Structure 1
């Protein structure tokens, strides 16, 4: 193991570029006002829409978020990260703010359109933010950088319900007005503070992009497509390369299965609390403990996982996470198992999450935005499918449901290990990763170059 894999928390914080700090600060501001997905159903039923109409609105929003991450990756490749963030947030803010004016049964059709577009634009900035962070952070600190991004998002997600509780006491409509305001503020911050062009990673990947372009041209010729135009090369050819990359497909499947099981802590777990006749405050305690542990410990945990191969880290993380799900099967015996399971679950997330989150950014710039967008779209699809998994399976298995979650999550770990495995030895920090990372050059280590 080389010293290049050892990255400390203080070292990372001190060397974080100012533009990255602006980026993370803007994401935190935006997340503090992100109320739509959490409170949309409650708000619409409060405004006397039927449960079916409210549920349909949430489906429209979720569908928009899945499409938004894909389009966000495409827009980032074409227009750049800063422009994509500004356009997405500037469009999303007014749409969110107008939701209260459309929250009537007679306006259901325009409400669904607005909600779907709001979801699309709300998530379109995520691939751009990931690309910008990967371009600006020093290569050996990129996994730590993505860990900081996760902490910014999770801190906002933890504080947002507290803000919402105060707003609801004053005016339900204020939820969406503040959401729209923070989104527009993020657009202004991005326009004023984020760099127009990519950072230091751009120059370093110029040669690799040229080689990738040549490879895609030759591949297109062999497939009988002729020589693609530049737009085709960076569009269809990029996605074709992704589908041919077996390791990346394994990784995407791991994201899908892992996210389906992860969302059960927000869907099936509160149902389990109620089914076992525990007070609802217990679930709040579980969420609080999980948030505190994740926000305060993830950076330090990341410094340790930087020292082991990526595929080992993600497998260990998924196994720890699965142990947490398995512990939930014992909650009928004692409420303490809720807290034990939560700590194990969040521990697994801290071990596997940064590496999983950072992986798409290890690809050349010609492919990176679309790979990130596809990964985030897969996670969004899993978040939409997760509630169905809970409704149709938990209601039939009860406590056995958590054993099934543990098994599914372990399968996700095996897929992740196969998708990210480049061998057991650390790479030379100066050596670049070939797309797909399968068997070319030295193997990747968590925290290595992108």
Structure 2
């Protein structure tokens, strides 16, 4: 990055293609109505369904989101990102909107089916959006582009509860009607405004058809692509860091309000922590990313997770003063800003024939860890109390080490460059000897 000069926020914004702005705008619109995962349990219990039924519905939705990212990567690979986004959003909108019609005790099985399919289609667009973003942006702007992608997601996630609070006063069902409407709006915008990109599989086949070399490799199938991922030890380390880091993050989401209550602080303090974290993340991430781009990726992800670990240490000290709690929240979000964009952008650095599947596997790992996190939080926290946060700090530090090892491909690139130089040298010697 340093060879190409410093990359600033306004530099990136000016060079951002119009199609990327449409893509990010659609992500924001969709996220503004993303109420299902947050409010599904509250809604179903409000409709007098049992806690067990509500929990099963949330599990069905979470399972759908995990499968959806894998399905989305396959459809993207075969049919292209624009088609995937349009199809996923057009399918998820009606499914989400009809959830109220199935929210009765006698319709639990149909409800689980509808909610699961809504989760599957609702997340299938994510790999496609990541692929399209990486295809449309120059390499030097991709980390900044994924930072903007994260800001669109986080802005929507921060504003959506405020919209939901108003809708609940009018009609609980309106949560799901608006959620479905925003998904359909995103589908319409994607159909009308996003470019028709060739599917990676079709592009590979076209390139292979144009090769004169009879020994040219055949297009990479899905099975071969996933086999390549399993053989990629560095990427497996990266996936391990993604899962462990997400598990640690989910502990703060679930256990932090419990800790605030146990320390006899007012519930409003949790709102303050969430507000401070959201404001810092949304307003500062792009600027922080401009500095992160000046250091190697593997260094950025290590530093970010170590800062994240310091945030968990602040939570461990929260019994002494709420200042430690707020400071911990700021440090945690600072760590996310430092490591997050590079972590998100890393799967998009792989060749087009593999990229969609690498992205899909990473997002599926994130979804799996996010689903498992709450299942272990309360059990562990009730036994460790403030020591729980030191365990999270240790997990964050280990995550940083795994992420550093998984994203450090300088040695591989060096070997590849050396191989190319050797081959070129031999070719020159041959030409010289012939002459």
Change (3 A) 1:392 1:209: farther
> Which whole-Å CA distance do the structure 1 matches of 2:133 and 2:198 have between them?
9
Change (3 A) 1:116 1:209: farther
Moved over 2 A (4+): 206-211, 213-217, 437-442
C-alpha contact 1:234 1:367 (8 A) present in aligned 2: no
> Which whole-Å CA distance do the structure 2 matches of 1:344 and 1:210 have between them?
52
C-alpha contact 1:5 1:140 (8 A) present in aligned 2: no
1:431 equivalent in structure 2 = none
How far residue 441 of structure 1 moved from its aligned partner, in angstroms, is 3.5
CA displacement, residues 389-414 of structure 1 (integer Å, 9 cap, x when unaligned): 21221111011000000101111111
1:339 equivalent in structure 2 = 326
C-alpha contact 1:216 1:237 (8 A) present in aligned 2: no
How far residue 337 of structure 1 moved from its aligned partner, in angstroms, is 1.2
RMSD, aligned α-carbons: 2.5
Q: Does 1:250 align with 2:241?
A: no
2:165 equivalent in structure 1 = 165
How far residue 422 of structure 1 moved from its aligned partner, in angstroms, is 2.6
Q: Does 1:305 align with 2:292?
A: yes
2:119 equivalent in structure 1 = 119
Change (3 A) 1:170 1:383: same
Q: Does 1:440 align with 2:424?
A: no
Change (3 A) 1:63 1:210: farther
Q: Does 1:154 align with 2:168?
A: no
**What's the secondary structure of 1:279's corresponding residue?**
coil
**What's the secondary structure of 1:7's corresponding residue?**
coil
1:357 equivalent in structure 2 = 344
Q: Does 1:50 align with 2:50?
A: yes
How far residue 198 of structure 1 moved from its aligned partner, in angstroms, is 5.3
> Which whole-Å CA distance do the structure 1 matches of 2:329 and 2:321 have between them?
14
C-alpha contact 1:136 1:198 (8 A) present in aligned 2: no
Change (3 A) 1:5 1:52: farther
Q: Does 1:290 align with 2:266?
A: no
How far residue 129 of structure 1 moved from its aligned partner, in angstroms, is 0.1
How far residue 207 of structure 1 moved from its aligned partner, in angstroms, is 7.7
Which one has the bigger helix percentage?
2
> Which whole-Å CA distance do the structure 1 matches of 2:334 and 2:210 have between them?
40
Aligned residue runs from structure 1 range 193-208, under 5 A:
193-197=193-197
Q: Is the radius of gyration larger for structure 1 or structure 2? A: 2
How far residue 2 of structure 1 moved from its aligned partner, in angstroms, is 3.0
C-alpha contact 1:5 1:306 (8 A) present in aligned 2: no
CA displacement, residues 134-182 of structure 1 (integer Å, 9 cap, x when unaligned): 0001111000000000000000000000000000000000000000000
List runs of 5+ in structure 2 lacking aligned partners.
Answer: 419-435
How far residue 234 of structure 1 moved from its aligned partner, in angstroms, is 2.4
**What's the secondary structure of 2:58's corresponding residue?**
helix
> Which whole-Å CA distance do the structure 2 matches of 1:142 and 1:203 have between them?
21
> Which whole-Å CA distance do the structure 1 matches of 2:113 and 2:214 have between them?
41
**Could you tell me the TM-score, scaled by structure 1's length?**
0.88
C-alpha contact 1:72 1:124 (8 A) present in aligned 2: yes
2:263 equivalent in structure 1 = 276
Number of residues of Structure 1 aligned to a counterpart in Structure 2: 416
> Which whole-Å CA distance do the structure 1 matches of 2:22 and 2:336 have between them?
25
Change (3 A) 1:38 1:162: same
How far residue 438 of structure 1 moved from its aligned partner, in angstroms, is 8.5
Aligned residue runs from structure 1 range 179-258, under 5 A:
179-197=179-197, 230=219, 233-258=220-245
Query: Which is worse superposed, 286-295 or 271-280?
Result: 271-280
> Which whole-Å CA distance do the structure 1 matches of 2:70 and 2:325 have between them?
36
